[in-house]
Amino acid sequence: MTQTTSPLKALLNVEASASVPKLSNAQMLDAPENSAIRDIWLLPPDNPKRHAGRKIAVVATDGVEEIELNTVQHYFRSRGAQVDLIAPKKPSYPDFLGLQIPAVRETHIMTITFIAIGGWIRFDRNLEDASAKDYDVVIVPGGVWTASAPPAGGASSRTWKMPARPSSMNPRSPTARSSPRARPSIWQRSSTRSTTCS
């Protein structure tokens, strides 16, 4: 009798053993608890125009978890929404700190996969040039580094007015069954309550 192996499990079989802590997307997506996220990537959208006409701002910076960022963008784009990735301008630091930021950071942010560096993803607008009022929804994906990333050069001096509390998570949203690490925050535009979020 032949056993059937899922395509994701097959990918795991060709990965080398981890030499450092890492996040395996194949392993994570193969887990039954992450079936909602797996379906976003493997199944065609039930309604490709579900979010047509909506403008979604995804606000992220260096250290954002790569799969959280990519899944949110893929979910909404594949359902007709205009999705803009908003990021602060390339930071600059005093010379005495010795920090060097690659030139690619002018147009891209660096992602992570758990605690390892992931890759560079191009963003659409600078945070300093964007406004929450231009979007129907603002999403802030999580990541190990993002909460502690220092604002450099006044990058966070501009305030965004958003509702006081994130909306409740929709069980069909792309992050409904994400990892136990930081979950994305989702704000929907409200004309009555707002808060400053920097």
Pick the CATH number of 7-197 from 2.40.50, 3.40.1630, 2.60.40, 3.40.50: 3.40.50
Q: Quote the pLDDT of residue 75.
A: 96
Which parts of the chain register pLDDT below 50?
A: 147-184, 186-198
Query: Residues 82, 56: contact at Cβ < 8 Å?
Result: yes
Q: Quote the pLDDT of residue 118.
A: 84
| pLDDT tens readout for residues 55-78 | 999 999 999 999 999 999 999 999
Please list the residues that pair with 87 across neighbouring strands.
126
- What pTM does this model have? 0.69
